[in-house]
A and B are shown apart, each in its own frame.
Chain A
Amino acid sequence: MSTSTTDLTHGHDDDAVKVPLLERIPGRGSAAAWPLGLAGVLILVGGTFLSWSYTSDVLGDLSVDFYPNGVQICMIALGVAALLFLLAHRGPLHRFGEWLDTAAAVRVLGLGAVAYMVITLGIIAYQSGGLVNINPGGWISLLGALLLAASGLMLVSRQHRDPLFAKTSSWLEISTIVVLMALVLFGAAYALDIGDGGSFLLFLLFVSAVALALTRAGAFTWVGLIAQKNRPVLMLGAFAVAFLFPFTQGGSDENMSIATQVLIFAATALGLNIVVGLAGLLDLGYIAFLGAGAYVGAVLSASAFATIDWKPPFIVVVLVGALFSAMLGLIIGSPTLRVSGDYLAIVTLAFGEIFRFTMGNLDGSNGPDITNGPNGIPAIPDLAIGSFDFGQPHTIAGITLGRFANYYFLLLLIAAIIILVFTRLNNSRIGRGWVAIREDEKAAEAMGVNVFGLKLFAFAGGAFLAGMAGTVKAHHDVSVTPDQYIFLESAFLLAAIVLGGMGTVAGVIVGATILKLLPEKLRFIADYRLLIFGLVLVLMMRFRPEGLIASHRRKLEFHEDDEELAQRIEAVHLEETEVKA
């Protein structure tokens, strides 16, 4: 008993310290805050037009006056964003300011700008040997950032209305979505083109500062609402962006290779999301189903090492791979789905290991020769559907699309199928059954939900989708070996879901992108990749278990005692039903 009382007083102490921390800042709420912010923006942006660095080989080239490069343009964009929020706080954009917590946004942007400038100047000083190599422009921008941050800390949030209840015309909503999509496309293309890790890190910092500012201002609440209202537009837009992406790459295979890897990973994670996110079955051996599909794809391919002498057309291979995978899912699922929770996690983990060992053993000496053992099946030829050879570059409208772009389009199709299955199931009787099982299995059973059947369906269905993706992966990767399907890969898939947000499509895609893209771009942390990965998982569970982009329902599950959140979610839900009616 004594422990819980101390805990209580502890909580009080924390609250007591937290609130006045911001209040105690000198000059808080003074009239000078707003002009100070404007001045900060002007100085910040002014500085970017001057040279930041004496040497020209750091972070691209920061040494030319009046010719801002990418790193500096990010700062300009951040300044413009801050300016918009300042003008919404007081001034011509006041009308928008009523809905948004503008002070919080300026605060985040200001602090983000300071962090950005400090890191930039730090990199310049470190790489070119000393602070003397920083030119006045850099110091000026840092000063501007500091002023902006000070202004943000001094501004007081005004009473603002909840953006959830904003009534906006549909053309504004749709054009917002279109603009956001265009920004995503542009940002992705730009980010992939950044060569050095430092610039990439800075770009990442810039994006997260802006995203966090928009979140704190409450803009994303509104975006989330309009995204739900205009779901078809959003889906169409997202696919248009994904479809157009290869055309921005000018035939560069390097970036497209990363993009296809992200896509394979995301498609698999989306399949797993049906099992984990919707049905709540923790599957730690999911990679085995991808592997099963890949092995089917390899064994039935025209590779000289393929052990089965049957070369059906690819569409048949996809079906065989998916069905084989689903069959494995049924075999492993039908006995084990009777156990629940943690046990299921371990059983599936054991199954994943059984799969890997078995694939390694079926080499002719320890078992029948099917998989060629630890060496795997190499030299899998490129796909050819009809006369379309996936290995050859193709030219469409004057833009060359290389080998990876071809696979990219195919994988996009598969991802689209998986997303379609996911959303349709989620909104169906089956999806509601899964949610019921996830929340309380016994209650669901008492209400007449076919618990075992639905669980088995989720398990086998997820396996089917993974098998489908696996057959393409075999051709994309050229070789299939047991080492590609280790437990860590399952953990990565699970992490993509957890990181992004369980049970949401957007979240999983974001999570998969982060997990695959960051290691590719931040080569200098390559060795510490897994260390950071482990740490992020722990921290994520501790501080934001519902993921970056959480579904409302999930959020509530993790924060059961948050009454305010519950009421808001209820309000949104009512709003949605009104819109639908």
Chain B
Amino acid sequence: MTDFLQQIVNGLTIGSLYALIAVGYTVVYGIVQLINFAHGEVFMIGAFGALATWTVLFKGQTGLWVLPVMVLGAVLVSVLTAVVMERIAYRPLRGAPRLAPLITAIGISVFLQEAVRLFYPGAKSKLVFPEIDVVTGTALSIGGLSIQRAAVFTVGALVLSAALLWYFVNRTRLGQGMQAVSQDPDTAQLMGINVNRIIVIAFAVGAALAALAGVAQGLLNSNIDFRMGFLAGLKAFTAAVLGGIGNIQGAVVGGLTLGIAESMATQFIPGQFGGSAWKDVWAFVLLILVLVFRPQGLLGARVVDRA
């Protein structure tokens, strides 16, 4: 039983991370039907942004009060990257055949990884992420379960951002504009909504959450490297599909489900094919199964049939 609960905790931690990133895929997809393949790199850049902020402003300090500033730095860098990317690379391709934006996305992804590797000092190998009081350090122990302090931060970040996002989408003018555009861009434009602006905001919202995930990942693993965006991005996409791509609640549910499924697979698949070496394989098998049997995802979204 303890094993089971422990895996639930682990799953929720990693799942919150996936969910934070998955929101970015889903928001953008819901509005422009584009798989922003480079979103994983936005997450990676967020982590590096936080590290850079810390190195420049607070090197050597561990107080909790530096964390908000680090998050702010991460969000700024990520949002900037995403907005520039949208403006330069994706916007000119709107209306082009579907292949073009996807290949562009691969190009951006490679470019961003390499740019960080080459131009961030020391990024050719893993970089140590700073320890912060309260959110890192010895794991908490509650009733026989070991809970990483950073895990609490990660889950907390997800809960907070999910609440804010819900408020933004459902209660603000811009959020309602977003919903309108995702339902029918042409009509929304006729109603006086600035579609380009909504698209930029979708990219920015996704990037902000990815940046938060980047900080969380740094705290959880205590190191970051330029490759971390690829696999995390792919997993988060899986999560988005799992929940029903285009559906924001779905992304959160999908992320948590994927995280729990992964840690359960590690623990409870017997024999040689269990264990952590196979957890990524099971995650992707899950992706394929979902696409085959329930392409609209767990919570459902409109079925994608565009080629």
Contacts and interface: CB of A to CB of B under 8 A. Distances in A.
B238 interface: yes
B110 interface: yes
A149 B98 CA distance: 40
B103 A494 contact: yes
A531 interface: yes
Interface stretch (A293-301, A335-343, A418-426, A460-468): A335-343
A487 B102 contact: no
B106 A558 contact: no
A269 to B, nearest CB: 14
Contacts, number: 152
B278 interface: yes
Given A282-B102, A541-B93, 17 more contacts: A1-B190, A341-B98, A341-B307, A346-B241, A350-B287, A350-B288, A358-B281, A366-B275, A441-B307, A487-B230, A491-B106, A495-B106, A528-B114, A538-B89, A538-B108, A542-B93, A545-B96
A300 B48 CA distance: 45
A368 interface: yes
Interface string A361-376: 1000111100000000
B295 interface: yes
Given A1-B190, A282-B102, A336 B285 contact: no
Interface in B262-284: 272-273, 275, 277-278, 280-281, 284
Nearest to B197: A3
Contact of B110 (A336, A441, A533, A558): A533
Interface of A: 1-3, 280, 282, 284, 332, 335-336, 338-343, 345-347, 349-351, 353-354, 357-358, 360-361, 365-368, 438, 440-441, 487-488, 491, 494-495, 498, 527-528, 530-531, 533-538, 540-542, 545, 557-558
A124 B99 CA distance: 43
A336 B291 contact: yes
Contact of A527 (B109, B118, B238, B292): B118
Contacts of B196: 3
B184 interface: no
A342 B36 CA distance: 10
B110 A530 contact: yes
Contact of B295 (A3, A339, A345): A339
B12 to A, nearest CB: 23
B306 A341 contact: yes
Interface of B: 35, 89, 92-93, 96-104, 106-115, 118, 189-190, 192, 194-196, 230-231, 234, 237-238, 241, 272-273, 275, 277-278, 280-281, 284-285, 287-288, 291-292, 295, 304-307
Contacts of B281: 354, 357-358, 361
A240 B61 CA distance: 69
Nearest to B293: A335
Which residue of A440, A494, A545 has the most chain B CB atoms within 10 A of its CB atom? A545
Contacts of B189: 1
Nearest to B282: A354
Nearest to B231: A353
26 contacts: A1-B192, A2-B194, A3-B196, A339-B304, A342-B35, A342-B98, A343-B291, A345-B35, A345-B102, A346-B35, A350-B238, A357-B277, A357-B278, A491-B106, A491-B110, A494-B103, A494-B106, A495-B103, A531-B118, A535-B111, A537-B103, A538-B89, A541-B96, A542-B104, A558-B97, A558-B100
A365 B278 CA distance: 12
B304 A343 contact: yes
> B interface, by DSSP: helix, strand, loop or mixed?
helix
A3 B234 contact: no
Nearest to B303: A339
A336 B288 contact: yes
Contacts of B278: 357, 361, 366-367
Given A340-B305, A358-B281, A528 B104 contact: no
A349 B102 CA distance: 12
Contacts of B295: 338-339, 343
A350 B304 contact: no
Contact of B288 (A340, A347, A528): A347
Contacts of B96: 541, 545, 558
Contacts of A341: 98, 304, 306-307
Contacts of B285: 354
A375 B110 CA distance: 26
A538 B118 contact: no
Contacts of A536: 107
B104 A538 contact: yes
Contact of A350 (B98, B100, B190, B234): B234
A531 B103 contact: no
B72 to A, nearest CB: 28
Given A336-B292, A350-B234, A534 B108 contact: yes
A542 to B, nearest CB: 6
Contacts of A367: 272-273, 278
Contacts of B194: 2-3
Given A340-B307, A527-B118, A542-B92, A534 B109 contact: yes
A335 B306 contact: no
Given A282-B99, A340-B307, A538-B104, A3 B110 contact: no
